[in-house]
């Protein structure tokens, strides 16, 4: 029996939209209309289009509240069955299943069970475009409290929380605010960094899409703390949906008297506006970002005078990451001490990660700081696809490192991984199995930075150019004795002497793969062999006639038409046509595609 | 009066004002630090070549900084020739020499660093520019702003907008003259000069016939509201002196 309120949450995050979520939402709405349920005044049944629910790979996701039934991989033609199940039995085929078990509720699903949501607490639960839904779940209460406090009291609360910047560097937010508050130079600015340029990352984009008011509330509280009356959200060029949701949330906040000349009736004021990102990874760096806002080329400058003192237009400026700011409302509402209850000694609270790659359940997760990589990959992520051996996890994007199996039990926080030459970074995580070549991975990131750095300073620009050339040589069988040592020499110089943190961290993927996977470099250089069977110039493919079932998956995947063999016949690769792309190996479910060293 | 500080550079005690750049203090005390993207002609330094790196130890913590823009804010010990600096400076120099293989100056400086192991590096064919940005700074300081760095990453270069002849360039050669590697090419005939894909007419002094610049550069130097001079500075002064003489003679 439908008794009263029934909210049908349809995930309309970027991932689910790509899988047809908008069609699902419309179909369910139509079904409700057709049955007269939407208009029934005794009932309150509604379709709510939410932000990312987290487990994107299983999307589109539909969830009923308050009953908490969660459906996965929903299609528009499931609408009738879904509406039927508002009363009575859940639709079995849409429930989450793992190891023979079926999960009805979100929190039973191991993907969600181990999470702890602060930043994402409303993402996937509310309609991000409805300010009242945010307020109904405690939104803007942190701000209300902040308005009764002095700037010093606000900052003390943030200090108590132990919050550290989640954009990657981990600088204590409270300390940053206190320094900025100490300068009597006006105007001051508060800037939100929503540039998120790491390949594979979508934490900040999802937060802005799914809970834009949390970011705005965080900015208002920050502005009160430091004495800023103007703020800017710098949002990545590609994030059209995030920009749209933030803009509409800003408009709603003005309308509700939360932004503008009198914040919630007080004599504080704040204006917020959006600036579209400059379109390069380097634009997320603080000084490049500010140059870009000022209308100049997005190039970093030497940072011996910090932006808290002389930032935007040479005025005191606080720049914070989306996730840092979205943590602030909860800290103010529930107190800094409550926030500091979770996490580790030196890294408090939670961290959002975007987990992608060869892990079974990819998506957006938020866990207490200090959670181990093993928990993230195996308990939450469900392990490696096809249960292949784990090889490495790349954390922190192009500035991060590749972490091997033996370090999976390390707690993930700001400091631990750094001791091993890697870093947690802003939260991007790419899981790799035994079919990833670590030299190729390093080459990929170096290549990315060759285009996405600004090119202003010598170590970074020229160091990356040389690293790319050497790594390409190694991958293509032209590696020379001494290449590893030269890569390390260039890398160390880049780490010490580059102008900005991009160049200073750019060698990390190279240095960590050398450190943890040196034998793989040596195999490429000394034996001209790619052990993972990835580097095309060093690898040849063949099909094991014993294992081949003649399923035709490989021949259908082959872009070169190199595989012959009919259904139920053993398939054969023509080495003259094969371009060594590896698609057949990915496609084969029977491990029948073998790789071996290509003779010179 | 600014606060004074005493710092030690390579064992030499130096006094300086708080906030002064480390490079300026070192130079004043006869300590050599190589620079490429820094020029006395400009107040701002891009700090992009990174050749001026040194190690600074403050409160027991040692870090690598670029001397040209590092402001001295507290007592510290500076090492300009530590093993780390000599090695990393040599790597930077080797990178520059391979970036600009056609620059003799870079090749010489590279040799001077005295470290090996760089044969493996690739050279950027036919390149002379090390992207120090001094040319851009020079042009901006004249108010012409005809050139800038364009593109990013490894493709970055100095150019006019979209590589087209710039309407703002006056052909003054300031960029070419400030360039440490002679990377900016121009050609000159008896009557014209071509730089950055644009041809300019040359202007000669009506009195002595010496080259004054291009018509555009002479006009630009005179300023918007002033008359464009037709004689060179030397002749103008001489003419002025002659006129004075004449005046006095008849008094
Ligand atoms: C190359 C580069 C890219 C960066 N990109 C981002 C980004 O996309 N988002 C972000 O929040 N911080 C980014 N950062 C970090 C910022 O410079 C800055 O530290 C951060 O925004 C400060 O906010 P927080 O203290 O709240 O983390 C980047 C840094 C570098 C060096
Ligand atoms: S380190 Fe790289 S991104 Fe940073 S200023 Fe230098 S060239 Fe630009
Ligand atoms: S490696 Fe690529 S090209 Fe070669 S047979 Fe397999 S799918 Fe075809
Ligand atoms: S010659 Fe042209 S580009 Fe060069 S400094 Fe003069 S005005 Fe600028
Ligand atoms: S052209 Fe010369 S002055 Fe200009 S950036 Fe290149 S090396 Fe420097
Ligand atoms: S977008 Fe729907 S679960 Fe991520
Ligand atoms: S001279 Fe200091 S960085 Fe170029």
Are B87 and A493 within 8 A, CB to CB? yes
Ligand 1 pocket, A299 CB below 6 A?
no
A482 contact residues in B (CB cutoff 8 A): 117, 120
Whether residue B76 is found in the same domain as residue B30: yes
Please check whether residue B152 lies inside any domain of the structure: yes
Buried b (16+ CB within 10 A) or exposed e, A262-286: ebeeeebebebebbebbebbbbbbb
Task: List, for residues A212-238, the tens digit of each pLDDT value.
Answer: 999 999 999 999 999 999 999 999 999
pLDDT in the model for residue A247: 98
CA of B169 to the centre of ligand 7 (A): 27
According to the model, what pLDDT value does residue B250 have? Answer: 63
Q: Which residues contact A132 (CB under 8 A, 6 or more apart)?
A: none
pLDDT at A37: 86
B154 and B108 together in one domain: no
Specify the CATH number for A6-109; select among 1.10.357.10, 3.40.30.10, 3.40.50.1000, 3.90.1150.10: 3.40.30.10
Going by CA atoms, what residue is nearest to atom 4 of ligand 5?
Answer: B135
- Whole-angstrom distance, CA of residue A201 vs CA of residue A396: 9
In a domain, B12, yes or no: yes
Report CA(A339)–ligand 1 centroid distance (Å): 22
The answer to whether residues B108 and B157 belong to one domain is: no
Point out the ligand nearest to the CA of residue B139: 4
HEC-encoded secondary structure of A379-443: HHCCCEHHHCCEEEEEECHHHCEEEEHHHCCCECCCCHHHHCCCCCCCCEEEEEECCCCHHHHHH
Residue A362 dihedral angles phi and psi, to the nearest 5°: -85, 160
Question: In chain A, what are the domain boundaries?
Answer: 6-109, 131-340, 350-433, 438-526, 536-597
Domain count, chain B: 2
- Please tell me the distance between residue A446's alpha carbon and the centre of ligand 7 in angstroms: 24
pLDDT tens string A459-509: 999 999 999 999 999 999 999 999 999 999 999 999 999 999 999 999 999
Q: Give the residue on A whose Cα is nearest the Cα of B93.
A: A458
Give the Cα separation of A194 and B86 in Å (integer).
Answer: 39
Q: Which of B116, B150, B154, B156 to mutate to test the interface with A (most CBs of A within 10 A)?
A: B154
Tokens for B184, please give them: 């900016």
Count CB pairs under 8 A between chains A and B: 116
| Atom from ligand 3 closest to the CA of residue A557 | 7
Cα angle value A520/A525/A527 (rounded, 5°): 85
- Do B92 and B153 lie in one domain? The reply is no
Tell me which ligand sits closest to the C-alpha of residue B49.
Answer: 7
Q: Note whether B69 and B101 are same-domain residues.
A: yes
Predicted-complex ipTM score: 0.95
Q: Give the distance from residue A525's alpha carbon to the nearest chain B alpha carbon, in angstroms.
A: 14
Q: How many CA atoms lie within 13 A of A562 on its CB side?
A: 20
| Cβ neighbours of B133 in A, within 8 Å | 456
Task: Based on the fold, state whether residues B142 and B203 are members of the same structural domain.
Answer: yes
Q: Is B233 helix (H, G, I), strand (E, B) or coil?
A: helix
Q: For residue B138, give the ligand nearest its CA.
A: 4
Chain B environment of A451 (Cβ under 8 Å): 152-155
CA-closest residue to ligand 3 atom 6: A584
Ligand nearest to the CA of A72: 6
Q: How far is the CA of B146 from the centre of ligand 4 (A)?
A: 6
Is the distance from CB of A157 to CB of A331 less than 8 angstroms?
yes
The residues that bridge with B204 in the sheet, in sequence order, are B211
pLDDT digit of tens for each residue in chain B (251 aa)? Answer: 579 999 999 999 999 999 999 999 999 999 999 999 999 999 999 999 999 999 999 999 999 999 999 999 999 999 999 999 999 999 999 999 999 999 999 999 999 999 999 999 999 999 999 999 999 999 999 999 999 999 999 999 999 999 999 999 999 999 999 999 999 999 999 999 999 999 999 999 999 999 999 999 999 999 888 888 899 989 988 888 888 888 777 65
Q: Which two tokens stand for residue A335?
A: 């107190």
Torsion of CA A248, A254, A256, A261, to 10 degrees: 170
Cis peptide bond prior to A187, omega within 30° of 0: yes
The ligand 3 site (C-beta within 6 Å) comprises A 541, 557-558, 560, 562-563, 573, 578-584
Range of the domain at B217: 134-243
Domain A131-340 CATH (choose: 3.40.50.11540, 3.20.20.140, 3.30.750.24, 3.20.10.10): 3.40.50.11540
Task: Specify the residue with its C-alpha closest to ligand 1, atom 10.
Answer: A167
At residue A303, the pLDDT reads 84
**In terms of domains, do B82 and B141 share one?**
no
Residue A549's CB is within 10 A of a number of other CB atoms, namely 15
Torsion of CA B235, B237, B238, B241, to 10 degrees: 160
Q: Within 10 A of A166 (CB to CB), how many other CB atoms are there?
A: 30
Query: For residue A451, how far is its CA from the centre of ligand 6 (angstroms)?
Result: 30
Name the residue in chain B with its Cα closest to that of A457: B48
What is the rounded end-to-end Cα distance, in angstroms, of chain A? 72
And the tokens for B202?
């040359």
Interface test with B, best of A291, A493, A498, A525 (most B CBs within 10 A): A493
Report how far residue A513's alpha carbon sits from residue A87's, in angstroms, rounded to the nearest whole number: 54
Residue A420's nearest CA partner among A439, A438, A396 is A396
b vs e for B66-103, b when ≥16 Cβ sit within 10 Å of the residue's Cβ?
bbbbbebeeebebbbebebbebbbbbbbbbbbbbbbbb
Q: Residue B248 falls within a domain, yes or no?
A: no
**Do B105 and B161 share a domain, yes or no?**
no
The rounded percent of chain A whose pLDDT value lies above 70 is 100
Token pair listed for B72:
């001295």
Tell whether B249 is covered by a domain. Answer: no
Q: What is the rounded CA–CA span in Å between residue A534 and residue A393? A: 17
Alpha-carbon separation of residue A330 from A56, A125, A140 (angstroms) = 25, 16, 9
Contacts of B124 in chain A (CB under 8 A): 465
- b/e burial code for range A219-250 (CB count within 10 A of at least 16 → b): bbbbbbbbbbbbbbbbbbeebebbbebbbebb
CATH number at residue B72: 3.10.20.740
Instruction: Say which DSSP state B5 is in.
Output: E
Residues B85 and B138 in one domain: no
Span A299-345, pLDDT tens digits: 999 888 899 999 999 999 999 999 999 999 999 999 999 999 999 99
Give the angle subtended at the CA of B48 by the CAs of B47 and B54, to the nearest 5°.
60
Edge-to-edge strand order for the sheet containing A230-235?
A: A271-276, A230-235, A189-194, A317-321
Residues B143 and B46 in one domain: no
Task: State how beta strands A401-404 and A390-395 pair.
Answer: antiparallel
**Is residue B128 included in any domain, yes or no?**
no
- pLDDT for A538-559, tens place per residue? 999 999 999 999 999 999 999 9
pTM of the predicted structure, to 2 decimals: 0.95
The confidence score (pLDDT) of residue A3 equals: 62
Mean pLDDT of chain A: 95
Interface of B with A (CB under 8 A): 46-51, 53, 64-66, 69-71, 84, 87-88, 91-92, 95-96, 98-99, 117-118, 120-122, 124, 130-131, 133, 148-149, 151-156
- Asked if B152 and A302 come within 8 Å (Cβ–Cβ), the reply is no
Pairwise CB contact (< 8 Å): A456 & B50: no
Q: Which of B65, B148, B154 sits opposite A465 (nearest CB)?
A: B154
CATH code: domain A350-433 is: 3.10.20.600
Contacts of residue A304 in chain B, CB cutoff 8 Å? 65, 69-71
Please tell me the predicted confidence (pLDDT) of residue B241: 85
My answer on whether B26 and B76 are in the same domain is yes
Sheet containing strand B198-204, strands side by side = B186-188, B192-195, B198-204, B211-214
| Residue corresponding to tokens 């033996």 | A406
Same domain? For B181 and B236 the reply is yes
Q: Which of A50, A47, A128, A40 is nearest to A82 (CA)?
A: A47
What class is the A438-526 domain? mainly alpha
Cβ-defined contact of B47 to A482 (cutoff 8 Å): no
Of A304, A451, A458, the CB nearest to B95: A458
Residue closest by Cα to atom 24 of ligand 1: A165
How does pLDDT run across A160-191, given as a tens digit for each residue?
999 999 999 999 999 999 999 999 999 999 99
Q: Identify the architecture of domain A536-597 in CATH.
A: 2-Layer Sandwich (3.30)
């Amino acid at each position: 029996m439908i008794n009263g309120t029934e909210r049908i949450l349809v995930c309309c995050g970027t991932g689910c939209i790509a899988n047809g979520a908008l069609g699902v939402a419309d179909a369910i709405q139509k079904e409700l209309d057709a049955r007269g349920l939407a208009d029934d005044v005794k009932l309150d049944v509604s379709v709510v289009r939410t932000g990312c629910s987290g487990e994107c790979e299983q999307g589109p996701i539909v969830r009923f509240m308050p009953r908490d039934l969660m459906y996965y991989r929903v299609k528009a033609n499931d609408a009738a069955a879904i509406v039927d199940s508002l009363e009575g039995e859940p639709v079995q085929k849409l429930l989450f299943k793992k190891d023979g078990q079926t999960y009805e509720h979100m929190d039973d699903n191991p993907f969600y069970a181990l999470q702890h949501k602060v930043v994402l607490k409303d993402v996937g639960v509310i309609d991000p475009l409805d300010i009242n839904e945010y307020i109904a779940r405690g939104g803007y209460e942190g701000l209300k409290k902040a308005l009764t406090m002095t700037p010093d009291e606000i900052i003390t609360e943030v200090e108590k929380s132990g919050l550290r910047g989640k954009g990657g560097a981990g600088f204590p937010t409270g300390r940053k605010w206190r320094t900025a508050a100490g300068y009597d130079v006006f105007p001051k600015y508060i800037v939100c960094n929503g540039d998120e340029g790491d390949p594979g990352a979508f934490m900040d984009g999802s937060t802005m899409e799914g809970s834009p008011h949390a970011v705005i509330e965080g900015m208002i509280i920050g502005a009160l703390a430091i004495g800023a009356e103007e703020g800017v959200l710098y949002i990545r060029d590609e994030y059209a949906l995030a920009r749209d949701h933030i803009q509409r949330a800003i408009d709603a906040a003005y309308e509700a008297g939360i932004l503008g000349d009198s914040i919630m009736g007080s004599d504080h004021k704040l204006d917020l506006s959006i600036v579209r990102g400059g379109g390069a990874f380097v634009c997320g760096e603080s000084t490049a970002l500010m140059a870009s806002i000022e209308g100049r080329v997005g190039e970093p400058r030497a940072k011996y005078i910090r932006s808290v003192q002389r930032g935007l237009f040479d005025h005191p400026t606080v720049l914070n990451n989306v996730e840092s700011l979205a943590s602030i409302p909860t800290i103010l509402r529930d107190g800094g001490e409550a926030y500091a209850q979770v996490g580790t000694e030196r890294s408090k609270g939670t961290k959002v990660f975007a987990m992608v790659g060869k892990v079974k359940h990819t998506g957006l997760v938020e866990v207490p700081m200090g959670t181990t990589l093993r928990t993230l990959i195996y308990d939450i992520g469900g392990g490696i696809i096809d249960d292949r051996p784990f090889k490495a996890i790349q954390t922190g994007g192009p500035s991060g490192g590749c972490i091997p199996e033996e370090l999976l039990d390390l707690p993930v926080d700001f400091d631990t991984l750094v001791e091993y030459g890697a870093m947690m970074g802003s939260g991007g995580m790419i899981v790799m199995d035994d079919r990833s070549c670590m030299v190729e991975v390093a080459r990929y990131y170096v290549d990315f930075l060759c285009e996405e750095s600004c090119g202003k300073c010598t170590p970074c620009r020229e160091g990356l150019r040389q690293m790319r050339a050497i790594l390409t040589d190694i991958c293509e069988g032209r590696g020379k004795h001494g290449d590893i040592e030269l890569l390390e020499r260039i890398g160390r110089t880049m780490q010490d002497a580059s102008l900005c943190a991009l160049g200073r961290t750019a060698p990390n993927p190279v240095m960590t793969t050398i450190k943890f996977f040196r034998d793989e470099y040596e195999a490429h250089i000394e034996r001209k062999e790619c052990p993972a069977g990835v580097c095309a110039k060093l690898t040849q493919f063949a099909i094991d006639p014993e294992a081949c079932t003649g399923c035709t998956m490989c021949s259908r995947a082959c872009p070169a038409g190199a595989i012959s063999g009919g259904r139920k016949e053993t398939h054969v690769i023509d080495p003259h046509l094969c371009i060594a792309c590896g698609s057949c190996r990915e496609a084969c479910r029977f491990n029948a595609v073998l790789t071996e060293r290509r003779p010179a | 009066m600014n606060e004074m500080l005493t710092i030690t550079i390579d064992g030499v005690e130096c006094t300086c004002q708080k906030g002064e750049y480390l490079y300026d203090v070192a130079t004043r005390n006869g300590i050599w630090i190589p620079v490429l993207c820094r020029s006395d002609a400009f107040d701002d330094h891009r700090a992009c070549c990174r050749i001026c790196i040194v190690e600074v130890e403050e409160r027991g913590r040692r870090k690598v900084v670029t001397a040209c823009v590092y402001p001295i804010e507290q007592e510290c010990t500076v090492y300009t020739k530590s093993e780390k600096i000599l090695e990393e400076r040599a790597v930077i120099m080797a990178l520059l020499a391979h970036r600009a293989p056609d620059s003799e100056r870079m090749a010489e400086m590279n040799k001077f660093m005295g470290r090996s192991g760089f044969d493996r590096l690739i050279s950027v064919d036919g390149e002379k520019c090390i992207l120090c940005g001094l040319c851009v700074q020079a042009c901006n300081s004249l108010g012409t702003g005809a050139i800038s760095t364009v593109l990013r990453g490894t493709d970055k270069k100095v150019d006019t907008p979209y590589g087209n002849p710039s309407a703002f360039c006056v052909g003054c050669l300031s960029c070419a003259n400030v360039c440490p590697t002679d990377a900016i090419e121009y050609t000159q005939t008896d009557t014209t000069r071509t730089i950055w894909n644009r041809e300019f007419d040359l202007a000669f002094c009506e009195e002595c016939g010496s080259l004054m610049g291009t018509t555009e550069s002479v006009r630009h130097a005179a300023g918007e509201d002033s008359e464009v001079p037709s004689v060179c500075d030397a002749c103008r002064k001489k003419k002025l002196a002659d006129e004075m003489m004449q005046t006095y003679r008849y008094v």
